[in-house]
């Protein structure tokens, strides 16, 4: 690990600001890289130190080679319509290595009465841009289809108060669309209960469609007309490095390690202001002080560490709930699977009473993830609506997955491999009122000079959101550390 700072030789007589970043996941690394960029842009030296309690960078995130299989333990891609991921790749010089999803299989499946059914063409998470594919679909009953068609007649909501995703869909489209299509699709993203999920904090564009056009369907149709034939399904918005998501992490880490020190296996117990600097207490080493600290951690860990510095901020952070889940990654011979797997994956409504949430067909989405004649499946378990499923042992969860895959997709035979990755309290739950809670947290953080927060607990759960949060945290502590001289 390199212990140099990011100053040039011409700055050697200028004291370097010392900044610590707690948490060396994608948010923390993005924070560090942005601080390095700011140091170079502003010709101001900084000395960066990243701390992480784990023994490896990125936690469960990353790519792994198992024989001729290339698997993903965490996120397998990121979206391009949130620009922070693509922009980071451009600055890292790896934008040309990004690949899009396989156009041959750009569709998804939803389980209905035990059978995988294609999601209606043009359906966009909460509503349809086209009615005819919905009318033809066996996912809804005839009364439910008529209710969906009547959405254009539903009056827009008068108030601007936050409401749950379930309330919005029920109000505009009816209960059956919520239960059979929306809940499993959204659950596959947020592992959340739609009855508690804030629409403002997760999918505000649908509120904007209602407000602007008086109808979600009319709004989606208008957007499709404006964007031309490429609008359709949104699968083309996802990209990944050709060699896997680990390449993004490794490239970012290499850039950071050129200018910063990374200390793994180092657990922080407390952060608090101390005589104009920030004091960090460690569980197994002497305390140290810094000019600024960024905490790129789950909200509940930041709450514990900041309790003495700001009880009010600690209390607000503790209000953000988290769900646990697990991913079982497995490799199979295609001849052992009855279903053609002619899609990117399958989501499962809660009302189907299954013990898994979804199955992603990774090697259908991106090339070079499985040998010829084989496929990689990623099966999701747990989440806010099935929390008990992740309390079983690894072997029990993998047995459950094999039973469900056999029943749903006709997966038989012995898999080439099975690997379980657990995400304990890893997915923040953006419950109703989340944006107001985050605004309160931001105002409380602003009162702590030299301290900033980053991570997926605040503005979004995806990779671009984490990158953005890290870069914004970097900007805050930079401004705190380099106030213009009066």
Residue 301 belongs to domain spanning:
9-59+244-320+431-481
Do 307 and 440 lie in a common domain?
yes
The CATH number for 286's domain is 3.50.50.60
Q: How many CB atoms lie within 10 A of CB 367?
A: 11
What torsion do the CA atoms of 469, 474, 475, 478 make, to the nearest 10 degrees?
160
Query: Residue 474: which region, alpha, beta or left (left: phi > 0; alpha: psi -120 to 50)?
Result: alpha
Q: What is the pLDDT of residue 234?
A: 60
Query: What CATH number does residue 377 fall under?
Result: 3.90.660.20
**374 lies in the same domain as 467:** no
Q: End-to-end distance of the chain based on CA atoms, in angstroms? A: 38
The set of residues, in sequence order, having a beta carbon less than 8 Å from that of 144 and lying 6+ positions away, is: 174, 176, 177, 180
Distances (CA, A) of 454 to 57, 358, 408, 476: 16, 28, 39, 11
pLDDT at 223: 85
Say yes or no: 262 and 337 in one domain.
no
Domain count for the chain: 3
* CATH number of the CATH domain containing 129: 1.10.3110.10
> What is the per-residue pLDDT for 88?
98
Quote the CA–CA distance of 442 and 453 in Å, as a whole number: 9
pTM here is 0.92
In a domain, 475, yes or no: yes
Residues 255 and 295 in one domain: yes
pLDDT of residue 321: 97
Query: Based on the domain organization, do 193 and 99 belong to the same domain?
Result: no
Q: Are both 405 and 333 inside the same structural domain?
A: yes
Low-confidence ranges of the chain (pLDDT < 70): 1-14, 60, 226-236, 483-486
What is the per-residue pLDDT for 226?
Answer: 65
Q: Is residue 312 domain-shared with residue 450, that is, in the same domain?
A: yes
Whole-angstrom CA distances from 33 to 91, 221, 324, 483 are 10, 40, 29, 21
Do 368 and 403 belong to one domain? Answer: yes
Same domain, 300 and 156: no
What is the token pair recorded at 453? 């927060």
Residue 169 lies in a domain: yes
What is the average pLDDT value for the chain, to the nearest integer? 93
């Amino acid at each position: 690990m390199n212990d140099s700072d990011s100053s040039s030789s011409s700055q050697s007589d200028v004291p370097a600001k010392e900044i610590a970043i707690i948490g060396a996941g994608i948010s923390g690394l993005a924070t560090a890289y942005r601080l390095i960029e700011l140091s170079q842009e502003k010709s101001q030296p900084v000395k960066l130190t990243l701390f992480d309690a784990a023994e490896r960078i990125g936690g469960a995130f990353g790519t792994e080679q198992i024989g001729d299989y290339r698997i993903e333990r965490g996120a397998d891609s990121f979206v391009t319509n949130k620009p922070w991921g693509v922009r980071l790749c451009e600055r890292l010089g790896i934008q040309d290595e990004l690949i899009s999803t396989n156009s041959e299989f750009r569709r998804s499946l939803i389980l209905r009465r035990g059978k995988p059914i294609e999601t209606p063409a043009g359906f966009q998470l909460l509503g349809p841009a086209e009615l005819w594919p919905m009318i033809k679909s066996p996912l809804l009953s005839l009364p439910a289809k008529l209710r969906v068609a009547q959405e254009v007649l539903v009056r827009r909501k008068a108030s601007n108060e936050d409401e749950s995703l379930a309330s919005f869909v029920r109000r505009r489209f009816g209960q059956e669309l919520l239960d059979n299509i929306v809940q499993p699709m959204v659950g596959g993203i947020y592992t959340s209960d739609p009855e508690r999920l804030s629409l403002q904090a997760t999918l505000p564009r649908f509120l904007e469609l209602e407000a602007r056009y008086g109808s979600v369907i009319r709004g989606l149709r208008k957007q499709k007309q404006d964007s031309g034939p490429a609008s359709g399904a949104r699968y083309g918005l996802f990209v990944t490095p050709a060699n896997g998501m680990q390449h993004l992490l490794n490239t970012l880490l290499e850039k950071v390690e050129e200018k910063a020190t990374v200390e793994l296996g180092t657990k922080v117990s407390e952060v608090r202001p101390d005589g104009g600097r920030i004091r960090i207490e460690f569980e197994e080493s002497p305390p140290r002080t810094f000019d600024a600290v960024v905490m790129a951690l789950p909200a509940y860990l930041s709450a514990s560490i900041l309790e003495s510095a700001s009880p009010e901020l600690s209390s607000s952070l503790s209000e953000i709930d988290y769900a646990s889940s697990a991913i079982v990654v497995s490799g199979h011979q295609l001849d052992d699977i009855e279903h053609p797997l002619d899609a990117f994956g399958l989501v499962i409504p809660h009302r189907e009473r299954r013990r898994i949430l979804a199955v992603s067909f990774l090697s259908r989405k991106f090339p070079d993830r499985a040998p010829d004649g084989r496929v990689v499946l990623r099966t999701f378990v747990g989440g806010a609506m099935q929390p008990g499923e992740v309390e079983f042992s690894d072997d029990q969860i993998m047995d459950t997955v094999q039973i469900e895959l056999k029943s749903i997709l006709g997966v038989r035979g012995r898999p080439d491999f099975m690997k379980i990755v657990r995400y304990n309290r890893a997915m923040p739950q953006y419950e109703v009122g989340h944006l107001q809670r985050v605004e309160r947290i931001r105002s409380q953080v602003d009162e702590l000079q030299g301290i900033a927060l980053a991570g997926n607990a605040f503005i979004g759960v995806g990779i671009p959101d984490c990158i953005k949060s890290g870069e914004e945290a970097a900007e805050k502590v930079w401004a705190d550390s380099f106030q213009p001289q009066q």
